Chains A and B, each alone.
Chain A
Amino acid sequence: MQSMKRITPYLKLGLLVLLVVTCFRSSVEQLSEARQLADTDGAFFVQWEKRFDPIKDSLPFKYGVIGYVADWDLPGVVYDPADTEAEHVLTQYTMAPIVVSRDTSHEWIIVNLNTADFDTWFAMQKGEYAVIKYKYNLYLVHRIK
């Protein structure tokens, strides 16, 4: 019993040191992982902004709601949902303060489809439209009637 009492403080000290060292090791590992993170985002966001600058310039308003058409609006098209979703999110982030709605009944619509898919989608539309084509498979569609 006496020897146990003598050992206990050293056991506690050992545990205390172990706790601190474990946390310290975890922090060093976190720092190492952080240093391995690649700065890919910055250039990506800049590139995306550049893509949409001409569309922003073409729109006759600075605020309001526009539609957005992507692969998910074409029946039967095989697409990567994560990629399509990411492109919509980036488009919304870039176009702010204009709301980029998935409702395609708006007067102005951004279409993000390759040429063949755009033609298919456009053929399905009723009414009169004006279309401006941009780089990177982007279209701005204006519903006239």
Chain B
Amino acid sequence: MTIRSLFVLLPSIISGGLLVHLIWPVKGVKTILFKVCLGIGIGLGLNSLLYFLYLLIFNRQTGFWGLQILVLISLVSITIFRERPYHFSPGVFNPPDRLQMIILASAGIMAILALAISITVSLRKPQGAWDSWMIYNRAARFIYRGGDHWVDAFSPEMYWFFHADYPPLVALNVASGWDAIGQETVRVPMALGGAFLFGSAGLLFAGVNAYRTLGQASLAMIVLFGTSAYIEMGSKQVADIPLSFFILATGVLLFLYSIHSQRELLVLAGLAAGLAAWTKNEGIQFFFVSLVVVIFVYRNSLKFILPWYVLGFAFPIALVIYFKIMIAPPSDLIVDFASQINQVFDPNRHIELLQEFVSNLKALGNWALLAVYLLIFGVAMNKGSVSPFLACLSIIVLQLAGYYSIFLISPHPLSWHLSALYRLLLQVSPLIIFLYFSVVRSPETIFHNK
């Protein structure tokens, strides 16, 4: 069942990789790895959008597996047709030196450890975390079992803590996996959680490798796997890890756009931001954050940039808008807006929030060691302008500010609501690690100060 559960995700993942390649046909060893990792999230995200459309149009589950295969065959055919005239040239490949080999091997050991942790957690918590089965797997059950009543998954009669208003990327992928296998099994959400967990790590590795060095990319992955709870949460099937994937993807793609000025990267960044909005409510906040960042950071060339970014997010955002207006019940976060706004003026609330933010951020990583490391190694921002760093930093700061604002006006008891803060911080942690390792000098510079 485990193997079958992994296999049912493969058509979407391969389709995602091929689509990324068709949109951004740049070749080379570094970009192949990046496209493969990016394809995991893009493929699964688009699979859920297609399944949603399929349910809306045909109002039934059966047969979607055939559509997935048809999409895959079409994308393979288009790719072969387009690539046939060209000979593959991987570009210049520099074999890793001894230091790089050692760090890469360490990253490999960390990846094996991460896999062991992930499998152990998955086997001991097969239903995942509380939120996973209460929100996402519950919705998946409604969709899979519900037949033409699948839309009841988002019924306004559902009590608010089921969060029936959450965008359904995870639930739809789980339900389409069950449909393909022909039965409900916890292995599908497990495999989905693993795909996004290791996809995020791979994307971080590939993103840092694309801009910096192999040693630096390996270190970034080591630090991500060393971040407490990231692997655990990913293995417990929460949607925060898929969301972290899309936040990282948007940040890295905007970063790479700032360096290479290839408009295809903007389309992919817009698509990733749109899929973030399709994953979770905080993803909708992230979508607006990314839009503000694009408008602010690239304000001098906005006329050129914005249309490509809009092209990327148009499809997922259109379905998010449809879902929110036509299907989802109202959010639990707005009850009595006037009194909620008054909470902004409560200094005790700010103090409690700041204390919690500081303590949770502290727990996210070994900041003291990373700060000393940065001080001793120094900064390397010599490639391109400041805009790639500004884009990533603005995304992180504005996203954190968004979380803060939501907690500030939350109608729920603050101490209870803040229990989710650590998971929210995990959503931005891969992008923080990406930015850190894009700024700090590479380990390759230890003995020759390049």
Query: Which residues on B are within 8 Å of A, measured CB to CB?
Result: 103, 106, 109-110, 113-114, 116-117, 120-121, 123-127, 130, 133-134, 137-138, 141-142, 145-147, 149-150, 152-153, 155, 157-159, 161-162, 219, 222-223, 225-228, 231-232, 366, 369-370, 372-373, 376-377, 443, 446-447
Contacts and interface: CB of A to CB of B under 8 A. Distances in A.
Contact of B446 (A13, A35, A85, A93): A13
Given A9-B447, A12-B446, A97-B145, A37 B225 contact: no
A8 B376 CA distance: 8
Interface stretch (A22-30, A115-123, A124-132, A136-144): A22-30
Contacts of B159: 88, 92, 101-102
A19 B113 contact: no
Nearest to A85: B161
Contacts of A16: 103, 219, 373, 443, 446
A35 B125 CA distance: 11
Given A9-B446, A30-B228, A41-B127, A65 B157 contact: yes
A39 B366 contact: no
Contacts of A85: 161
Contacts of B219: 16, 19-20
Interface residues of A, number: 41
Contact of B109 (A19, A24, A30, A34): A24
Contact of A45 (B124, B127, B228, B376): B127
Given A20-B222, A23-B223, A45-B127, A96 B369 contact: no
23 contacts: A11-B376, A12-B446, A15-B372, A15-B373, A15-B376, A16-B446, A19-B369, A20-B106, A22-B366, A23-B110, A24-B109, A24-B113, A27-B226, A33-B232, A37-B125, A39-B125, A63-B146, A89-B161, A93-B141, A97-B147, A97-B150, A97-B153, A101-B158
A60 interface: no
B376 A24 contact: no
A92 B127 CA distance: 15
A126 to B, nearest CB: 22
B152 A89 contact: no
B157 A27 contact: no
Nearest to A10: B446
B186 to A, nearest CB: 9
A93 B162 CA distance: 10
Contacts, number: 131
For the residues of A in contact with B, the DSSP-based class is helix
B338 to A, nearest CB: 26
A97 B152 contact: yes
Interface in A19-62: 19-20, 22-24, 26-28, 30-31, 33-35, 37-39, 41-42, 45
A27 B103 CA distance: 16
Contacts of A9: 446-447
B222 A30 contact: no
A74 interface: no
Nearest to B218: A20
Given A11-B376, A15-B373, A27-B225, A37 B141 contact: no
Contacts of A39: 123-126
Contacts of B222: 19-20, 23-24
Contacts of A42: 126-127
A27 B110 contact: yes
Given A15-B377, A34-B120, A41-B126, 7 more contacts: A19-B373, A20-B222, A23-B223, A23-B225, A26-B226, A37-B124, A63-B152
